[in-house]
Structure 1
Amino acid sequence: MAEINLYFIFIASIGFDLLIGDPKFIIHPVQIIGIYIKQITNFFIHNFKKNKRILFWGGLFIALSTIATSFVIGKIIELMFIQSKSNLIFGILIFLGLSSCLASKSLILSVKEISNLINDNITDQKTEQIVKEKVQRIVSRDVSTASLEHLLRSSIESLTENSVDGIFGPLFWIFIGTVFIKFSIFLPGPLSLGFSYKAISTLDSMIGYKYDHYRYLGFFSAKIEDCSTFLPSRIVLLTLPLVSSKIKKYISVIKKSYSDGIKYDSPNSGISEAIFAYISNVKLGGENKYNDEIIEKPIINSNGNICSKEKINIICQLILRLQILWIITFTIIFFKI
């Protein structure tokens, strides 16, 4: 019975994230994880910045300690909930914890807020600066000198890539946890796997870079994130056409998306960007600036339309539709097992 209650808490947490998002009055787990990662990363860089080997193995310690701690906290709360026969307080902790693993509303709102500020013929420099600041918060590239079209492209690329990291990745692993715990309460559950994936995602976003000290310190974090997001990104590739008008061209769209997506260095971000690009018929990729260096990313959907506010709205609708499809599918699988 507790396992079924856990599943319904999972479904309720999805709805809460879609409607409310992250409550302002609660410290987000990512903030706590981020503080730990930042402190221990600064320790290694400050004391061993010239020793690549220590940075390399230190990065493994940072990754494993962060993920293990997140997992254990989630597992303890799960065990307390089950052993207390679905105690309300532990149920609320799981509900809020699972909701914090998802970022549907915050991700969609942040990008829509940017698109709403951009007018076709924007001349207000103050508004343009505000847009650049908001875009800079969601991307790692330098957009200080970017055109409005580039700002829209950056927003769409962030939205399509982070839809997996912030929505479908955690949804996948939380569901796997709800299935595991049906067989044994000592197997990884929804909260322990959800917290673990969130820790992995945070590690990658904070230290998973290929420059300076992070090349060594963030190596393991980036690889672990690649592995944990591999399956969710492929499932998004296979299921997104099912909730779109391109369902009649299912095989063709998947082949084109996969062909363009694997050109990226990341085994996952290119795939997720590509399938959204082909479904919404938008062109992505091109010139980007990182630390005063211009990097040319592979073009995705070269015959697609330029990025626009309308394309952002279409992609946001696709994300919501796909979530509904996943929830229905998960529910059928859960009660059939």
Structure 2
Amino acid sequence: MQYLAYKLIAILIGVLLDLILGDPYNFFHPVKVMGNIISFEEKLIRRTKARGSFLKLLGLAAVLFNISLAFLFGYLAIILFKINKYLYLIYTSYMVYVCLAARSLHFEADMVVKELDHSLERGRKRLSYIVGRDTSELSEEEILKATIETVAENTSDGVIAPLIYIAIYTPLGLVYKFINTMDSMWGYKNENYGNLGFFAAKIDDLVNLVPARLSALLILITNIFNKNILYACKTFFKYRYAHASPNSAFLEAPIAGLLKIRLGGPHKYFSKIVDKPYIGDIDEKVNKNGVYFTIKAMYKALALLILAIVAIYLKLILK
């Protein structure tokens, strides 16, 4: 019970650090290290000239190695608790902090809006920092919708999912983050990454199945008094499986419904048009308020999850 008490404190400190500090560009961040490791692994794998199924197996080997590595660093928190409670508190708080991306997601979305206020070109350039699609020909409305989609999808990937996994079992937070980072770098269905990132993408889909659905539920619950809530629920149930990904539309659908806009549609990736289905039946004109609404929806979902975690932990501690 003492362990749970310290862990709850660490979770709350970590969340607070993320909300206050975000991810400073000049500060050491484990996710940057993860990215460097993944890039190094790709260079090694490419040197083998592997193709087809063998390339898939090498990609799987990299995924399993990275999961093991992340688990070891996550498990260090449990070891530290047995050595020194304060070291555990510092280490676990930092782990929670680096696994979350609420403040940085807020910052990046806000910067897209501010740059768009200056010019269309600056808005396109800033958006390119946070999306994989080609932004060079996007209109103002398309930029705003892309930003909304990014915040919605990353409400699960960057906020809700890592916190859920940490709350369940501390090492799983870093494991999830490594898997998610691999998917963001290798999870493209194209000639370069279709085989290499096959298992990274599949495992990422798997670990996001529950968090994506819970995130959607949190968004709908925390907007229960929104005037568009019934339409949002209808949109969610109609379009939640609209994407090829089993998870992405679960976050975009409720937001599309709450804002009464249409998300998705064809996007250009690596000079090729990728057809994606539209999400939503009504397509009212979107403005920057839609971006800020989505940011608020993310924070409200996070707040409700924290309340649930605190309630569950306190019940276990006081039992």
TM-score tier by shorter-chain length is over 0.9
Change (3 A) 1:68 1:170: same
Cα distance, 1:259 vs structure 2 = 2.1
Superposition RMSD in Å: 1.8
**1:136 corresponding residue in structure 2:** 128
1:48 Cα deviation from its structure 2 partner: 1.8
Instruction: Give % identity.
Output: 28
Report which stretch shifted further, 268-277 or 198-207.
268-277
1:183 matched residue in structure 2? none
| Structure 1 position 76 matched with structure 2 position 55 | no
| Residue 52 (structure 2) aligns with | 52
Which whole-Å CA distance do the structure 1 matches of 2:158 and 2:152 have between them?
A: 10
**Secondary structure in 2 matching 1:212:** coil
Q: Is contact 2:187–2:197 with CA below 8 Å preserved after alignment?
A: yes
* Counterparts of 1:193 and 1:231, CA distance in 2: 14
Q: Per the alignment, in what secondary structure is the counterpart of residue 15 of structure 2?
A: helix
1:7 — aligned with what?
8
Amino acid at match of 1:328: L
1:313 is matched with 292
Shift of 1:245: 4.5
Structure 1 pair 284–249 and aligned structure 2 pair: CA distance change class (3 A): closer
- Residue 234, structure 1, aligned to residue 232, structure 2: no
Residues 256/140 of structure 1: CA separation in 2 closer, same or farther (3 Å cut):
same
Displacement of 1:246 after TM fit? 4.7
1:241 is displaced (CA, Å) by 1.6
Contact 1:237–1:254 (CA under 8 A) maintained in structure 2:
no
CA distance in 1, matches of 2:26, 2:133: 31
Q: 1:100 Cα deviation (Å)?
A: 0.2
Cα deviation 1:180-203 (Å, max 9, x = unaligned): xxxxxxxxxx2x111001001101
With normalisation by structure 1, the TM-score equals 0.88
- For residues 1-337 of structure 1, the aligned pairs below 5 Å read 1-24=2-25, 26-49=27-50, 51-80=51-80, 82-86=81-85, 88-119=86-117, 127-177=119-169, 190=170, 192-246=171-225, 253-337=232-316
Equivalent residues, number: 315
SS at the partner of 2:265? strand
The SS at the match of 2:57 is helix
Query: Counterpart of 2:275 in 1: which secondary structure?
Result: strand
What is the one-letter code of the residue matched to 2:34?
I
Instruction: Measure how far apart 1:266 and its partner are.
Output: 0.5
Matched with 1:182 is none
Task: Give unpaired runs (5+ residues) of structure 2.
Answer: none
Unaligned runs of 5+ in 1: 178-189
**For the residues of structure 2 that align with 1:111 and 1:209, how far apart are their CA atoms?**
23
Q: Could you give the per-residue CA deviations for residues 92-116 of structure 1, whole angstroms, max 9, x where no partner exists?
A: 1221121000000000110011112
